[in-house]
Structure 1
Amino acid sequence: MRRVVFDSNAIDQIAESVGAFEALKTAVTAGDLEVLYTHVTMDELTAIPDQERRSWLVLLMADLGRLVPTGSAAVDFSRVNFCRVGSDADEDLMDALRSGNIKHTRDALIASTARYEKCALVTNERRLTGRSREWGIDVLSTRELLSEFGVTLS
């Protein structure tokens, strides 16, 4: 079974590609795929200003996956009931994933969740991909994930 944690930017291509959602939903139902997401993912999706797009992406994410606590905690970013308090080693991981920039804390929380859950991170962000791989996190783009389940994006 393939297990993945979604970054919020990874759901867009699924929403926009004919047959993508259906293929992933079929894989989830068959037990071939487990999709996880964090409160950070949902916080980012619910901040989308376009109400129709926001609703569509939130519903897709919620239907495909299940909510899990973040792999680490960050003051002013984490929701207490939806995060794990980590060790000093987790602080090193968070600092590295943030690339020294507090603006990347949400991405670091999602990547740390993939590491904690021992599954792949699905993201389309290059900086996060590189930093995550440096810490041994398997990373897939949305295109790569869909390809694994028979969907080719044009």
Structure 2
Amino acid sequence: MSRQFATFTVAGARYGIDVLRVQEALRNQARTAVPLAPPGIAGLVNLRGQVVMLLDLRTRLGLEPLGEDTEPMMVVVQVDGEAISLLVDEIGDVMDVEDDQFEAPPDTLPPTLRGVILGAYKLDHGLLLALDVDRATAA
């Protein structure tokens, strides 16, 4: 069976989210800081009148923040009926993958990453890490 994933990169690795969970992908928006927010909460953004929480996926994955000179992108996903925006390095394409390309998360992934990855799809040009949106956005 074939599945479609919206893809993006974070720190050079390619990730994918089931396309049915993705609301939209956009450039970084102006954000409002949330005082005393836990690490990983990058603020709130106003998307056409809807206030959406913004999560820095780099922080959630245990990675260094993106450099100040680089502008991140946003992937807005649905989690329990609510929109949540994920800060990512770059937006990719929508990719079709086959179930027979799927494998368990590689042993080489750091523990912080293994907890939010469903598995990996082996592609001709590298791996596509399937992100577990629910676990990646959990507080």
TM range, normalised to the smaller chain?
under 0.3
TM-score by length of 2: 0.27
Q: Between Structure 1 and Structure 2, which shows a larger proportion of helix residues?
A: 1
TM-score by length of 1: 0.25
